[in-house]
Amino acid sequence: MIIRTRFAPSPTGFMHIGNLRTAIFEYLLAKSNDGKFILRIEDTDQSRKVDGAIDFIYDTLKLCNISIDEGPNNNGEYGPYIQSERAKIYKDYALKLVEENHAYYCFCNEERLENLRKIATKNKKPFMYDGHCKKLSKEEVLEKIKNGEKYVIRQKMPKYGKSTYIDQVYGKITIENSVLEDQILLKSDGLPTYNFANVIDDHLMKITHVIRGNEYLSQTPKYNLLYEAFGWQAPTYIHVPMVLGTDGNKLSKRNKDASFMDLYKDGYLPEAIVNYLVLLGWSPNDNQEIFSMNELIKNFDISKISKSPSTYDIKKLQWFNANYIKKMDDEKYYQFVLPYLKEVYDLTTYDKNWIEKLVQIYKNHISYGKQIVEETKMFFDDEFKISEEAINFMQENNTDIVINTFKNKILNIKKWTIENINFAISETKKETNEKGKLLYMPIRIKTTGLMHGPELADTLYLIGKTTVLKRLEDNL
């Protein structure tokens, strides 16, 4: 059997990272078994569709090195791969369920449904459709259709007994049938609901494994009852734990959580994002944390997916991203951070060698591309602010001797080089008998406004002798 997985996003804008993690899992499952990865666009809710969103999805997957075997732009034998183009297929299958008494026409208007919702709320019970139209005779149904009354088609659920299935992560799942609502399969506009279209498409596209969030654990019996009604084999289910924000809520676009493109534009590398996201809910056999895509494919095993939710931690992502930035060759790194500097600062008066040296000293200090702007602010703006912590440090320690001694040393420097600046620091150390932070920190604070940073001599060289002297003379 060829493993076939599918990623089925809605075209509602940029892809949020929780959704991307699902795509990564589906891709790794397929490729680790020499299978196929299918992209299907679920656009049955036309009101939420965003122009260009399909391109966003393709762009995101391409940047993440996730190749699509079949999809809207990679046509295969099971297309079309956009649900709005498959409307007739769903209607035919819905009508078949009606004929075989697994579904029925429902003509209830919104007013009646809203009244049922109010009663449920009053009784402090979850709303469930009461099956009113299930009692209609075939003649009554035909008469209503003939009169042009709007209708939906609902699935006829069993009201007694239990439904059980096996999930690859959570094991045996059993749900009381009495909690299963007669869900809508076909809406009044002729388009299917998400639940119905998924079943039809997964079967027709020969999807063998379905990966989705564990919030669907209790919904899966509805899908399985449809498979049973058609006499089809259900796919293997793999429900994955949710990704939560630091506030404990599920990540989502509606909560304005970061999308992949938001991160990408800020200078987070796709390979670092993929690496981080795959470890949210999945763990390898050893303690390895940094993986290439090929290594992930080789090591991916669904038995290593956790049942527990994971917390999306931007600081941990930054740690991953910093590791990938450090591994960049110098020219690629330069081209990576240069656009962020150009967007904020006028670089036309600066020598290219100076810019290259500037970004290079921060290669081991930044966690994402855009961070270079704030880190290098002191080189472009004399109005830098010294933090309260730094001011307190200067006031609590006798730093004037170090500052004045160092200032006198660099006044005598004829050629402004890193070597000569280091010599001036060394001579200051000898004369003041200070070392460590009591030597370096006062100089750094006075010249950069910061308590920590790249190599001090490199930093001062790039600031320039004139500016360094001016800053050493200025009061805090």
DSSP structural state of residue 215: G
Measured torsion, CA atoms of residues 97, 99, 100, 106, in degrees rounded to the nearest 10: 60
What stretch of H or E contains 378? helix 377-380
Residues 82/41, Cβ–Cβ less than 8 Å: yes
Residue where the block lists tokens 């990576």:
336
Measured torsion, CA atoms of residues 317, 259, 7, 316, in degrees rounded to the nearest 10: 10
**CA dihedral (13, 18, 21, 26) positive or negative:** negative
* CA-based nearest residue to 346, from 380, 391, 375, 309: 380
Q: What angle do CA 198, 256, 40 make, to 5 degrees?
A: 20
Residues 129/116, Cβ–Cβ less than 8 Å: yes
Helices (H), 32-109: 53-63, 87-99
User: What residues act catalytically?
Assistant: 253
Residues 238/29, Cβ–Cβ less than 8 Å: yes
Tokens coding 66: 């996730």
- In sequence order, what are the beta bridge partners of 175? 163
How many Å apart are CA 170 and CA 179, to the nearest integer? 20
Return left, alpha or beta for 336; rule: phi > 0 is left, psi -120 to 50 is alpha, else beta.
alpha
What stretch of H or E contains 425? helix 418-432
